[in-house]
Amino acid sequence: MTPITLTTTTLNDSTLAVALSGELDIATAGRIEQDLAHLAVGTVRELRLDLSGVTFCDSSGADLFVRVHQHCAATGVRLHLCGVPRLCATVFRVLGVDDTVPCSFA
């Protein structure tokens, strides 16, 4: 198992980019959700999540993005998933995540 890491970059006063790397599953989704919820506050109006470094994603990871999207919408933050790898894209499409959360596939 590859631990998941989260790297943040401030793009401007209101946009934050977050790159995820590693495996996103039931063991890591809760921590990542907490970390992202703490980031989507204050002056942040747009949160871009780069998933190009994600090497595994199960339904727990997909559900995480739906919950983060709901949290962001409730706080006035736009969420966009970027660089979604093929392995995540398959899970997202089967579960309908891409119908709810704005995604750009790699």
Q: CA 29: distance to chain centroid?
A: 10
CATH at residue 53: 3.30.750.24
Confidence (pLDDT) at 37: 85
| Residue with more model confidence, 60 or 43 | 60
The residue range of the domain holding 90 is 48-106
Show the tokens assigned to 13. 């006063």
- Quote the pTM value: 0.91
Domain contains 76: yes
Q: Please, where are the H alpha helices in 13-85? A: 29-39, 59-74
Query: Does residue 1 have a pLDDT over 70?
Result: no
Split at pLDDT 50, 70, 90, the class of 41 is confident
Is 64 within the bounds of a domain?
yes
- Compute the half-sphere exposure of residue 72: CA atoms within 13 Å on the CB side of its CA: 27
Number of domain units in the chain: 1
Q: What is the mean pLDDT of residues 4-17?
A: 94
Cα 58 from Cα 48, distance rounded (Å): 20
Taking a C-beta distance cutoff of 8 angstroms, is the pair 103, 84 a contact?
A: yes
